[in-house]
Amino acid sequence: METLKRPKPASDGIIKACEFLKIKSSEAIYIGDNCQDIIAGKSAGCFTLGITTTSSREKLEGADLVIDNLSQLTDLAT
């Protein structure tokens, strides 16, 4: 397994994952539960989805969308 030189909030890991999946980061949704995740996802060019499992909505306010639990994802798909 390859080790990344820069951890989050650097976007290296997200960009590497998108390359592996052969998608553009602008086509990806990055889900995170803290502000470091949101910064990393934004920096990579992803749509960011904050989930309030460990952080408040206020701490995730930079996300494109904030939800309270993963079951809300099904509501978004309809």
User: Tens digits of per-residue pLDDT, 21-58?
Assistant: 999 999 999 999 999 999 999 999 999 999 999 999 99
pLDDT at residue number 50: 97
pLDDT at residue number 77: 72
Find the domain containing 71 and state its range: 25-77
34/40 Cα distance (integer angstroms): 10
Looking at the 3D structure of the chain, how many domains does it have? 1
The model scores a pTM over 0.85 = yes
User: Tens digits of per-residue pLDDT, 59-73?
Assistant: 999 999 999 998 888
Residue 5, domain member (yes or no): no
| β-bridge mates for residue 6, sequence order | none
**Within 10 A of 2 (CB to CB), how many other CB atoms are there?**
6
Residue 2, domain member (yes or no): no
Label residue 2 by pLDDT band (50, 70, 90).
low
